Amino acid sequence: AQSVAQPEDQVNVAEGNPLTVKCTYSVSGNPYLFWYVQYPNRGLQFLLKYITGDNLVKGSYGFEAEFNKSQTSFHLKKPSALVSDSALYFCAVREPGNTDKLIFGTGTRLQVFP
């Protein structure tokens, strides 16, 4: 069965510094990978996805993610963090050819300090 792991419960970074939120996956075949963000008292918002093609995917709000097949990773990155980026980030996977079900990780709380 497909799954994703987010090894860090929380990531702290100073404003202006680069940030990385880690995600590793386990699927059979080629994965469809996603990042969502959840702000307090709001629903999840789609950030970006990897289906096929270029391993570096660019998304909303200046975020990008790098797909690494050999390391089975899909880390979320941003060159310069903003305080407003502070939120809960979820990685998700869908196995193509299976149902449409998205499997979410447990989430990583990003805290950006001024």
User: Which residues contact other proteins by CB under 8 A?
Assistant: 32, 34, 36, 41-46, 49, 51, 90, 92, 94, 99-102, 104-107
Q: Which is nearer to other proteins, 91 or 112 (CB)?
A: 91
Q: Which amino acid is at 38?
A: Q
Give the number of other Cβ atoms within 10 Å of residue 28's Cβ.
10
Q: How far is the CB of 77 from other proteins (least distance, A)?
A: 20
Q: How far is the CB of 19 from other proteins (least distance, A)?
A: 20
| Cα–Cα distance for residue pair 46/59, rounded to 1 Å | 9
| Cα–Cα distance for residue pair 74/43, rounded to 1 Å | 22
Q: Which is nearer to other proteins, 85 or 95 (CB)?
A: 95
